[in-house]
Structure 1
Amino acid sequence: MTEFKKDVILTGIPRGGTTLSAALFDNLENAVCLSEPNWQSNWFNRIKDANTVTEYVVNDYQRVRSLIMENKPIKDRRNKNGSPITNYFSDKRNGRRVRLLKQGEFTFQVENENFLLGMKHNEHYTSILPQLIATDAFSIIAIVRHPIPTILSWKSLNLGVSNGRLPFAEPFWKELQEITRTRDKSILTLVKIYDLFCERYLSFSNDIHLLKYEEIINNPNVFEELTGLSFKNNVELSNRNQSKNYNFALADQIKNAISNHAPNALKLYQLDEF
C-alpha cells in the first residue's frame, strides 16, 4: 500500500466496532467521517451491477467534498451538538434494544481542501471491496472483532444479519448469497457469514488496513499512526465484549460452530482469547 489517501473507505464486520472507529477517525484533525449515508444505501438497493455502484461511490466522494468546502449541510447520524456517536443502539429497555439516532443535517469545519474524508458502511462496501480496491481511489480500513461477542451482539438485536440476511450486499457477493438464500437464522449460518467477512479481508490484506476492535480499544492512537494526524480531543474507550446485553449462554454453541466451520476466523482470533 502507498501513502494514506485523502478519501477513505471504512468498513468491517457488522457490530464489529466500525461506528466507534468512524467516531475516532472523525476526531482527527482536518478529517470528517460520515456514518452510513442513506443515499448510498438507496444505490445498493436499486443498482445490481458492482462496477456501476462503485462508480457512484467514487463520484460521491467528490460531491461530498465540494459540499463540505462550500459549508453546505450534509445528512449524517450524529449527536445534536455535531459530535459523532460511538454506538447506534441503546441498552435493553423492556427486553429489547432500540436504535438511538436518526440522520440529521450538519455542516463540517475543515482546515483546507486536503482534509481526510471517510465514509462508513459495513456490508455495502465489503460486498464491492474488490471493485473499490481496483479504483485505486481510496485508502481502505476494515475492522474485525472477536467472533463470539460479535455474534452475541447480532443475536441481541433485530438486524438483517441477526436473521441471516445482508440484503444490501447479497446482489454483489455470490458467496454470501449461497449462505443467506436459505433464510436460516441459526448460529451456524451466522458463523458462516462472519467467516466469509474474515475470508474477504484476509484475501485482500495487502490492499487494505485490517484492524482489530480489541487493538483499537487498547490503542486508539492507531488512527493517528495510520494517518499521521492527531486527535482533536482526548479519547477514552471501554471494551464492550462483555456487554450486559448479550446472552452468554450461547457462547459455547458459537464457539463450537466456529471451531468446526470458521477457518478464516481462526486465522485472526483464538477462541480462548474470549
Structure 2
Amino acid sequence: MIQLITGIPRSGTTLCCKLLNQREEVIALHEPINPAAIVKNADANMALAYICKQIAGFQHAIENGLPFEHGDKGGLEIDNPVGQQTSDGIRQVVARRGQVLLPKRVPGSYQLVVKQNALFTALLGQLSAEFAVTAIVRNPVDVLLSWLTVDLPVNRGRIPAGERFATRLAAELAAEPSRIRRQWRIYKWFMYQFHQYGLKVLRYEDILASNGSTLDKALGLPAISRQALTPQQRQFAPEVLQELGSIKAELLAADFYGHYSTEDIAARLRQCGL
C-alpha cells in the first residue's frame, strides 16, 4: 500500500518520516520528487502522471536494491532539513538532494510513504482521488516564526512548487508587497486545500504529545514504543516578533477549520510576548 503525506512547511512532516522509518514495515521518503524535473508546460494531469511514474520507480528501486533520488542524500534518518547554523540570523538548510541506496526489500513486506509538501498540496484534486493522503499542520504562530528565520523560499513569502499548479495563489502572492502577509496567504492556502479535499489532518502538537502514536493510528499502523518527543524552544529576535505581531488581529480572527481555536493562537502569541 502507498500512502502520501503532505503538510504545511515547517510543521513536522520530515519528523513524521523519521518516526515512520523507526518501523520495520514502513519506508517513508522525504521529498523524493524534484518538482523542477516536471516538464515546464505540464498541467495538473501531466504532473499526476509524472508523480505516479516516480512512485512506481521508487518501489522498483527499493525492491531491486537500486539507487534512487531522495530529498536528502544522507538517507532516511533526517528529522529536520534545516540545521542550527545561521547566517545573518537565518538558519541554513542542511538537507542535500541526491541518490540513496536501501537494502533490497521483498514486494509486499513494507508500506511505502511518500512525503512532499507544496507539490502534493497544489495537486490534491488529482492525488486525493488516487491515493490516501494525510496532512500535517501546526499552530500558525510557530510556523510563521519558523518561516521568518529559515533559508527557504517561504522566508521570502513564495512557495514555487505550489504556485506552479496554483495560479490564483501565485497571482495573489505577486500582488502582495508585504512579506508577512504573503506568508500568511500561503499558510491559509495550505489549510484551505486540506479542508477543501477532506484530508485526514494531524496536528504536530498532538504527534509530539503522543510520541508519534497519533501518526501511527492515522496510517493504520499498530502503536510502537518510542523515546519521548519534546518540542525545541527557540528564541526570536525582536524584529521577527514585531513582523509577526503586525498580523496579530488576522491570526486571532482566522478560521482554522476546527484544528486551532482562538485561544490556541492567543496562548501562543502570549508566550511570545505578543
TM-score past 0.5 threshold? yes
Unmatched 5+ stretches in structure 2: 269-274
1:56 maps onto 2:50 in alignment: yes
Find the partner of 1:126 among 121, 125, 146: 121
Distance 2:84 2:249 in 1: 27
Distance 2:69 2:228 in 1: 27
Mean Cα displacement is larger for which, 103-112 or 152-161? 103-112
Find the partner of 1:139 among 132, 139, 147: 132
Distance 1:103 1:211 in 2: 27
Distance 2:98 2:2 in 1: 23
Taking a change above 3 Å as real, the CA distance of residues 231 and 71 of structure 1, as seen in their structure-2 partners, is farther
Q: Which residue of 2 aligns with 1:272?
A: 266
Taking a change above 3 Å as real, the CA distance of residues 231 and 98 of structure 1, as seen in their structure-2 partners, is farther
Distance 1:57 1:101 in 2: 21
**Does the aligned pair in 2 maintain the 1:91–1:97 contact within 8 Å?**
yes
Paired residue secondary structure (1:172): coil
5 Å matches for 1:162-177? 162-177=155-170
Q: Which residue of 2 aligns with 1:188?
A: 181
Q: Which residue of 1 aligns with 2:90?
A: 96
**Does the aligned pair in 1 maintain the 2:33–2:51 contact within 8 Å?**
no
1:224 maps onto 2:224 in alignment: no
5 Å matches for 1:1-274? 6-43=1-38, 46-78=40-72, 80=74, 82-94=75-87, 95-109=89-103, 112-114=106-108, 115-134=110-129, 136=130, 138-182=131-175, 184-205=177-198, 208-219=199-210, 220-230=212-222, 234-240=226-232, 242-244=233-235, 247-260=240-253, 262-263=254-255, 265=256, 267-270=258-261, 271-274=265-268
**Does the aligned pair in 2 maintain the 1:28–1:224 contact within 8 Å?**
no
Q: CA RMSD in A?
A: 2.5
**Does the aligned pair in 2 maintain the 1:25–1:32 contact within 8 Å?**
yes
Identity, % of aligned pairs?
Answer: 26
Greater relative contact order (Cα 8 A, min sep 6): structure 1 or 2? Answer: 1
Distance 1:30 1:106 in 2: 19
Taking a change above 3 Å as real, the CA distance of residues 36 and 184 of structure 1, as seen in their structure-2 partners, is farther
Q: Counterpart of 1:221 in structure 2: which amino acid?
A: S
Figure out how many residues of one structure are paired with residues of the other and give that number. Answer: 260
Q: Counterpart of 2:65 in structure 1: which amino acid?
A: N
Distance 1:180 1:210 in 2: 25
TM-score w.r.t. length of structure 1? 0.84
Q: How far does the alpha carbon of each residue in 1:45-69 deviate from its partner, in whole angstroms, 9 at most, with x for none? A: 6243001101111122112101100
Distance 2:16 2:241 in 1: 25
Q: Counterpart of 2:197 in structure 1: which amino acid?
A: F
**Does the aligned pair in 1 maintain the 2:93–2:150 contact within 8 Å?**
no
**Does the aligned pair in 2 maintain the 1:141–1:210 contact within 8 Å?**
yes
Taking a change above 3 Å as real, the CA distance of residues 89 and 47 of structure 1, as seen in their structure-2 partners, is same
**Does the aligned pair in 2 maintain the 1:76–1:105 contact within 8 Å?**
yes
TM-score w.r.t. length of structure 2? 0.84
1:143 is displaced (CA, Å) by 0.7
Q: Counterpart of 1:222 in structure 2: which amino acid?
A: T
Distance 2:106 2:249 in 1: 51
**Does the aligned pair in 2 maintain the 1:123–1:166 contact within 8 Å?**
yes
